[in-house]
Amino acid sequence: NINLFIFFLRGFLLSVILISLILVPIIGTKWGYWIGTISTDTFINAIYLILGVGFAEELIFRGWLMEELKNQFGLKKAILGQALIFSIVHIGFDLPFLQMLSILTGLFLLGILLSLIRLKDKNSLWGCIGLHGGLVGLWFMANNGLLEISKDAPKWLVGPGIFNKNPLGGLVGISLMIIFCFLYIQKINNKIENF
């Protein structure tokens, strides 16, 4: 179905925009520099991440879990519940509390955004798969050949983490999630109010 491909492409395009808004300030500053080389292994691994992680996690969180929670508690609580579980499952407990809290916040907002995308796309998971997989795969490529990020890069931009920084936990990432959640809520407000 062409609509499913369009949903996936729109989600992936949103991931490109979000990752670019993180990477552009890094490139050409003291916070990092562009390398621009990707090995075949890194590229294949990124494709697996885009399709595999995006598909598997969206099937679990925005597919199965959200439906179960919706059947028991209603749509609004299901959106919040799946986002909370999604964020808790993904945080690393080896970080200081405030850094862990910032990643938890960014992931929670991503979980909400992904559920809003599903609602906007008439309950299709393909837009969610495109966005989620794109974020994971593109950030992986950026960190494994495209870019060298300095250890001095500010946490508000690249997010917390020691070896694997997560930009969703930075102030920029959290702000972007809030902005896009707000935009999607405006688009589907009538759908949520009718449940």
Q: What's the pLDDT tens digit per position in 13-26?
A: 999 999 999 999 99
Express each pLDDT in 88-129 by its tens digit: 998 877 888 898 999 999 999 999 999 999 999 999 999 999
CB distance 55 to 134 below 8 Å: no
Model's pTM, two decimal places? 0.92
Report the C-alpha gap between 78 and 183 in whole angstroms: 20
DSSP 111-151: HHHHHHHHHHTTT-SHHHHHHHHHHHHHHHHIIIIIEEE-T
- How many Cβ atoms are within 10 Å of 89's Cβ, its own excluded? 12
Closest-CA residue to 19 (of 63, 60, 49):
49
What mean pLDDT is predicted for residues 141-158?
90
Please state, for a pLDDT cut of 90, what percent of the chain lies above it: 74
CA–centroid distance for 14 within its chain = 10
**Tens digit of each residue's pLDDT (9 = 90 or more) over 161-171:** 776 789 999 99
